[in-house]
Amino acid sequence: MDDISTAMQISAAGMRAQSARLRVVAENLANANSTSETPGLDPYRRQIPVFSSYVDRALGADLVEVSRVTLDPSEFTLRFEPSHPAANEEGYVMLPNVNPMVEMMDLREAQRSYEANLGALDTMRSMAASTLRILE
């Protein structure tokens, strides 16, 4: 029964990590068009979740977590829009470094990883219930 509990904890940690990743991706998508209101200030900068593994000594297992969220250092894009309040002297507006296509791919990958962990958790729960039925 301890092995089943450990497997369930591992799956739950994976689900928490993917859930945090989904929140970051959703924030990136929500701000894909967020520019500065004044010239010279940076627009929204894409965020990237950083995963790390750690040993849970009580479980005796390696677990995963989002240890921090970093900012993507890639360049902002420029769009010619002289009427925008954040346009510089040449009429260009700095746009966020968020590529919605990349974010959608990250979203889909995180969703599939979450579902895989959920499937493993459901399997372990079913095995635990079957074990208890056998022991009765």
Span 3-59, pLDDT tens digits: 888 889 999 999 999 999 999 999 999 999 999 888 889 999 999 999 999 998 888
Task: Give domain status of residue 108, yes or no.
Answer: yes
pLDDT score recorded for residue 1: 54
Task: Give domain status of residue 105, yes or no.
Answer: yes
**Mean pLDDT across 100-105:** 97
Domain count, the chain: 1
Task: Give domain status of residue 83, yes or no.
Answer: no
Model's pTM, two decimal places? 0.85
Please, what is the end-to-end C-alpha distance for the chain in angstroms? 15
Domain that holds residue 9: 2-37+45-74+101-135
Amino acid identity of 99?
N
Residue 109 has pLDDT above 70, yes or no: yes
Residue closest to 48 by CA, chosen among 30, 23, 82: 23
Task: Give domain status of residue 90, yes or no.
Answer: no
Residue closest to 17 by CA, chosen among 62, 65, 79: 65
Residue 62 has pLDDT above 80, yes or no: yes
Task: Give domain status of residue 81, yes or no.
Answer: no
User: What's the mean per-residue pLDDT of the chain?
Assistant: 93
Span 111-136, pLDDT tens digits: 999 999 999 999 999 988 888 888 87
**21 and 106 in contact (C-beta within 8 Å)?**
yes
Task: Give domain status of residue 88, yes or no.
Answer: no
